[in-house]
Chains A and B, each alone.
Chain A
Amino acid sequence: MTADQLPLNETGKILEILSSPLKINLMELGFLPGKYLTLQHKAPSGGPLAFQLEESLLALRQNEAALIRIEPIA
């Protein structure tokens, strides 16, 4: 699954960042395979998502979160 499909307050482990012009930007911010992210906030009506990634809270649009392939952690 991809990060945009993660339910609120759930955690996932990043498997890979899918190819796109934004791949580098995502990696720069610290979205790297092996790291864990938690979906903490959702802006209403299909708005951006805020993920806790280690020490930082990062906001992405849904189509950008869809570039992060993850594995949900129970």
Chain B
Amino acid sequence: MAESTATPVGSIPRIAIIGNPNVGKSTIFNYLTGLNQKIGNYPGVTVDKKIGFFQVKGEHFEILDLPGTYSLFPNSEDEIIAHRVLNNAELEQRPDYVLMVIDSTQLSRGLFLATQLIDLGINLAILLNMADVAADKKIEIRTFTLFKQLGVPILQTDARNQKGLEPLKELIQQRNFSKAAHFVDILEVIPAELLQRVRERFDLENNYQAYQMIRFGARDKAMPEASRLWLTQLLEESGFNLEEAQLEETKIRYKKITDLVTKALFKKTAPKPKSSLDKVVLHPFFGYLVFIGVLLLIFQTLFSLASYPMDWIDGFFADVSRLVLTTFPDGPLTRLLAEGVVPGIGGVVIFIPQIALLFGFLAILEDTGYMSRVVFLLDRWMRPFGLHGKSIVPLVSGVACAIPGVMAARNISNWKEKMITILVTPLMSCSARLPVYIILIGLSVPEEQVVGFINLQALALLSLYLLGVLGVLGTAFLLKVILKTEEKSFLLTELPSYRIPRWKDVGFTMVEKSKTFVFEAGKVILAISVVLWVLASYGPPTAMEEIRQQGVVQQQQASSPEQVAIIAAETNSLLLENSFIGIMGRAIEPAIQPLGYDWKIGIALITSFAAREVFISTMVTIYSIGGDVKDDLTIREKLASQVNASTGEKTFTPATSYSLLVFYVFAMQCMSTLAVVKRETKGWTWPIVQTLYMSALAYLMAFLTYQLFS
């Protein structure tokens, strides 16, 4: 058999793409891999692992998109990943080749990371991207000079306009990457003996790898405990000052880079003047007006656009349920499928339009460069509440839906600020609360004008939204006092030049985020829906059977089709009352009585744990309303006429309605959000904490409201 040096079958060459934030890495990744991508997880962190596949002339490559980073000194989770992958830290397979993307207008900053990669002994090629912007700014880079000094292949590209990407494909196909001699000699800042010991212990190729291991190995929680301990001890023994070494390295590196850039970069312009757009957008007064305008525009579009696909999805799954019921023979399995599983899947899919659209808007704001300007404007106002300027994105998203909001919180690098943001985002009144608000306000607030033109009902609705915001600020403030961290909060961010969004990348983000939601959170949501369905459909068998029999008998005696329908609705209502959930509703009655609720409302509270809007369909069943569920007026009239069985008074007094409204403002009644929080915090602790504190808050506030008005 002939010896082969080719890559063994089944393992294709891996290429990692790395670069500073906002240099067009994702555009290049999307260009190379198309939709042939998948998202995985790195152990111990919330950063998504983006992998794609690329094929050129029959050869296959695996492409790994690393999170944006300025250096190999990890400060955030994103940067720890870059460090871990490139330093071959046992857990991650090291890529065969690395493609470093540099913003041509930020050459020195990009070279900082690039030369660190060279020192790590990585098989590297450099892309000088955004050549168009550089040309506009009259910056000329002599790539040959750079190539001679660095010793790795260099390409110029303009990924946004798809220029220079063919040569990139060729470069990859020919595996035209190279390992260069070190750029900075790390022996200048750290003793050889120390490096040698680390190299032997971890079997490392060169000194810079050893230095990186000393610097960060002990802090990487994914490293084996023994290795971390060994490193910590080694450092203590040697008494070596790492902070100093790192600063020294940074100085030496920048000095050499500055020398190199002086030779390789040619610039014809005077210092950049202030952008006229920024004069308005970052204005201490008009900046905020612009922000509010942008928000209004987004929500206007979001609500008007998302409602159509949501109605289609709703109708589609209702049709599927009906089809299942009519196609298969009646039985527990058919009903589980038609009433548990299908609506469960529908309950996941229904969120996709909002999630996709919201992430589309966020991607546009991010890509144009506007988002970091919002962070700049809002940071000062978020900090007193333990939040970061970046928390504004999750909170604003929360008005539409908490799910994309919680998912957007991962951009916050400080642990404490991120946790607070995730914990309070569901207190923003999301769109699922709106139907509940509208029904209950219609029931309890008179449709009158005050002060001439203000509609009292609209005022009530606005108050509920503001109450949510107050809840966010108050809770965030409390959490700020309770949660502890040693991490320092900071805001060091670039306000990138304004650009036209890359529509293709916006599309990718929308698809990717929806996929993540459906596959990760969908499983939990589906499971809980099925459990709730079982609890609502089954009860003690003899009692349930009796009710069913009675219903059949009564229907036979009925004289008109209308009467049959009424009896059917009443039977359903009785069945629900006697089901396991009904029993639970009765069981919690003593607990909810102080809030002004009877056990029927208790049942609705339990079922709407799945999702808030379920409140309405439960009310419809339990008060045997029947007919068209969409008809608000019917529901309202029916609810208004309900009489409390034990007191003989009206069930929905203003006090009870207000108390319920307040309860819905604060309560955690959305398992989809919980599933996403579980995913983002990597465990059940925080979703449980969140459910408990929100339920307690909802209970307390509803109690106070009821006592105040009754």
Contacts and interface: CB of A to CB of B under 8 A. Distances in A.
B108 A59 contact: no
Contacts of A43: 282, 284, 376-377, 379-380
A55 B137 contact: yes
A45 B288 CA distance: 13
A13 B615 CA distance: 63
B192 interface: no
A15 B284 CA distance: 29
Given A26-B492, A28-B70, A58-B495, A47 B271 contact: no
B71 interface: yes
A47 B70 contact: no
Contacts of A42: 284
Contacts of A41: 278, 282, 376
Contact of A29 (B73, B139, B375, B492): B492
Contacts, number: 106
A32 B282 CA distance: 25
B24 to A, nearest CB: 15
Contact of A32 (B70, B254, B272): B254
Contacts of A50: 282, 376, 495
Interface residues of B, number: 42
A26 B73 CA distance: 12
Given A45-B380, A47-B379, A28 B491 contact: no
Contact of B109 (A9, A28, A60): A28
A55 B272 contact: yes
Interface string B600-638: 000000000000000000000000000000000000000
Interface residues on A, range: 20 to 34
Nearest to A20: B488
Contacts of A23: 247
Interface string B170-206: 0000000000000000000000000000000000000
A58 B492 contact: yes
Contact of A56 (B71, B106, B258, B380): B106
Interface in B271-300: 271-272, 274-275, 278, 282, 284-285
A17 to B, nearest CB: 9
Given A38-B271, A41-B278, A30 B492 contact: no
Nearest to B492: A25
B490 interface: yes
B491 to A, nearest CB: 5
B492 A27 contact: no
Contact of B112 (A28, A45, A48): A28
B389 interface: yes
A25 B490 contact: yes
A22 B271 CA distance: 27
Contacts of B372: 59
Given A24-B73, A38-B271, A41-B278, A59 B105 contact: no
B495 A59 contact: yes
A65 to B, nearest CB: 10
B549 interface: no
B644 interface: no
A58 B22 CA distance: 13
Contacts of A32: 254, 258
A41 to B, nearest CB: 4
B520 interface: no
Given A44-B380, A46-B380, A58-B492, 5 more contacts: A23-B247, A28-B250, A32-B258, A55-B272, A60-B492
29 contacts: A9-B274, A22-B488, A24-B73, A24-B246, A24-B250, A27-B251, A28-B71, A29-B492, A30-B108, A32-B258, A36-B271, A40-B278, A43-B379, A45-B380, A47-B376, A47-B379, A48-B380, A50-B376, A52-B271, A55-B137, A56-B105, A56-B109, A56-B496, A57-B278, A58-B492, A59-B492, A60-B492, A64-B491, A64-B492
